[in-house]
Amino acid sequence: MRERVLVTGGMGFIGSNFVRYMHDQHPEVQIINLDKLTYAGNPANLADLADRHRFVRGDVADPTVVDPLVRECDAIVHFAAETHVDRSIAYAGEFVQTDVYGTFILLEAARKYGIKRFVHVSTDEVYGEAVGRPSLEGDALMPKSPYAASKAGADRLAYSYYTTYGIPVVISRCVNNYGPYQYPEKLIPLFVTNALEGKKLPVYGHGRNTRDWIHVEDHCSALDALLQDDDNAGEVFNVGAGQEKSVLDITNIILKVLGKNDSLIEHIADRPGHVARHAVDSTKLTRTYGWKPRYDFEESMRRTIQWYVDHPEWWQPIKSGEFRRYYDEQYGDRSVRNTIQR
Ligand code: NAD
Ligand code: DAU
């Protein structure tokens, strides 16, 4: 059992769900949460646990912040990253800085202070297209966006710290997560909250691109299995739920649960480099740890949608702040440029 774990990016969507998961499953483990509080980091995500874990506001790319924290810990779970594909198309530099250079600073600290386990939270985006079958851990990495390429750089840098310095790094590559506290720039919370506000649901292109969707707690339980194991250094594990759905499938579920009409759907200009299909084979994870996703897709999607219905006090302040400028910039004139037929 790990005693003190440094969680980076623990005020974001998955990180905050992971801190809560650890608090519930392993209350004896001390958590230090290092987060810069970018636009995506939100202390409200962990308001109920504010005095039950230690929060440090700081940048993973700053060794003066990182070093003393890593020295105190026996393990790291590294979530902190710039994470939105569309933003990476506009501002790639921030992705290289945090996702690649920030990971380098953490790995250097792990090397200096003899960390027992470094769980590097990578993503299935590093594979690029899943052609013909779900991606396997040994497949080539063919990332298609600056976000995915930055994550691929970090993923392989982490691996090199295992092969070169023997740092006990283990790497996860998970599919699209859904659940509570997801920043409303991502498909599901954006479309749910737009529909609640009576706004259009901007589907990129034809909307037949598919993703595999996993409940965030199933991702957390997979990461916990990787964190607790002493024999997985240098390994990569895919994490998927086998729930491949298109953007239109997801949109129609949201409309149905909310009792809204499909006239809200608006097809707009496509995302450059839009990946047609992401899906992974997670047989290795299941064989190694007996891990399986526990959450039923239909039921937990319904619950997730209901969570946003029940928590306007969480998402309304977000959507009225920095988000509004982002939204205008991102979506402003895209319908005008749209040439895609439904
Ligand atoms: P998110 O954008 O919701 O949260 C990211 C968090 O990192 C925020 O709290 C932010 O403040 C923090 N952060 C950003 N830059 C930082 C820096 N320089 N120093 C310290 N903190 C910083 O992201 P998420 O969706 O929760 O993703 C978390 C991790 O999981 C990322 O590494 C992402 O690549 C990976 N991942 C996400 C998904 C998904 O579906 N969301 C799937 C697979 C993997
Ligand atoms: O696959 C894992 C990845 O999943 C993570 O590594 C990323 O951090 C996470 O953001 C997510 O990337 P996606 O690009 O798949 O997520 P997003 O929610 O942005 O888009 C999901 C799909 O929905 C994608 O096909 C694009 C489409 N989409 C998205 C938005 C925001 C739309 O059609 N309209 C939209 O407005």
Distance 181 CA to ligand 1 centre (A): 12
Residue 191: pLDDT band with limits 50, 70, 90: very high
Distance 40 CA to ligand 1 centre (A): 8
* Predicted pLDDT at 2: 86
* Predicted pLDDT at 42: 98
Please tell me which residue, 284 or 336, carries the higher pLDDT value.
Answer: 284
Please tell me which residue, 340 or 236, carries the higher pLDDT value.
Answer: 236
Is any ligand 1 atom within 6 A of the Cβ of residue 203?
A: no
Residue 1: pLDDT band with limits 50, 70, 90: confident
Give the tens place of pLDDT for each residue, 5-62. 999 999 999 999 999 999 999 999 999 999 999 999 999 999 999 999 999 999 999 9
CB 144 within 8 A of CB 128: yes
* Predicted pLDDT at 321: 83
Type of residue found at 77: V
Question: Domain segments of the chain: what residues?
Answer: 4-178+214-239
Residues 6+ apart with CB under 8 A from 120: 78, 103, 154, 155, 158, 169, 170, 171, 172
Averaged pLDDT, 113-129? 98
125 tagged catalytic: yes
Give the tens place of pLDDT for each residue, 257-308. 999 999 999 999 999 999 999 999 999 999 999 999 999 999 999 999 999 9
What CA–CA distance (Å, rounded) separates 177 from 212?
Answer: 9
Main-chain dihedrals φ then ψ at residue 300, nearest 5 degrees: -80, -25
Is any ligand 1 atom within 6 A of the Cβ of residue 9?
A: yes
* Predicted pLDDT at 340: 41
Is any ligand 2 atom within 6 A of the Cβ of residue 83?
A: yes
Taking each helix axis as running N to C, give the angle between helix 216-228 and helix 13-25, from 0 to 180 degrees, rounded to the nearest 10: 60
What CA–CA distance (Å, rounded) separates 198 from 208?
Answer: 23
Distance 339 CA to ligand 1 centre (A): 33
What's the token pair of residue 259?
A: 């009792």
Ligand 2 atom having least distance to the Cα of 86? 19
* Predicted pLDDT at 341: 38
Distance 291 CA to ligand 1 centre (A): 23
* Predicted pLDDT at 334: 84
Side-chain-facing half-sphere of 285: CA atoms under 13 Å: 28
**Chain-wide mean pLDDT for the chain?**
96
Distance 264 CA to ligand 2 centre (A): 19
Catalytic residue among 125, 155, 212, 224: 125
Is any ligand 2 atom within 6 A of the Cβ of residue 247?
A: yes
Is any ligand 2 atom within 6 A of the Cβ of residue 250?
A: no
CB 238 within 8 A of CB 287: no
Least-confidence region, from 221-230, 254-263, 319-328: 319-328
- Ligand 1: which of 14, 145, 216 to mutate, most ligand atoms within 8 Å of CB? 14
What CA–CA distance (Å, rounded) separates 145 from 298?
Answer: 30
The bound ligand whose nearest atom lies closest to the alpha carbon of 69 is 1
Helices first, then strands: H and E counts in the chain: 14, 12
Is any ligand 1 atom within 6 A of the Cβ of residue 11?
A: yes
CATH number (3.40.720.10, 3.40.50.300, 3.90.1150.10, 3.40.50.720) of 4-178+214-239 reads 3.40.50.720
Residue 70: pLDDT band with limits 50, 70, 90: very high
Protein residue with least CA distance to atom 16, ligand 2: 186
Sign of CA dihedral 19, 173, 99, 129: negative
- 3-class state of residue 326 by DSSP: helix
Is any ligand 2 atom within 6 A of the Cβ of residue 277?
A: no
147 tagged catalytic: yes
Q: Where are the alpha helices (DSSP H) in the chain?
A: 13-25, 63-72, 85-90, 92-95, 103-113, 146-165, 187-196, 216-228, 247-258, 283-289, 297-310, 312-320, 322-331, 334-337
**C-alpha angle with apex 309: 43 to 312, nearest 5 degrees?**
40
Distance 259 CA to ligand 1 centre (A): 32
Side-chain-facing half-sphere of 30: CA atoms under 13 Å: 9
Q: Within 10 A of 263 (CB to CB), how many other CB atoms are there?
A: 8
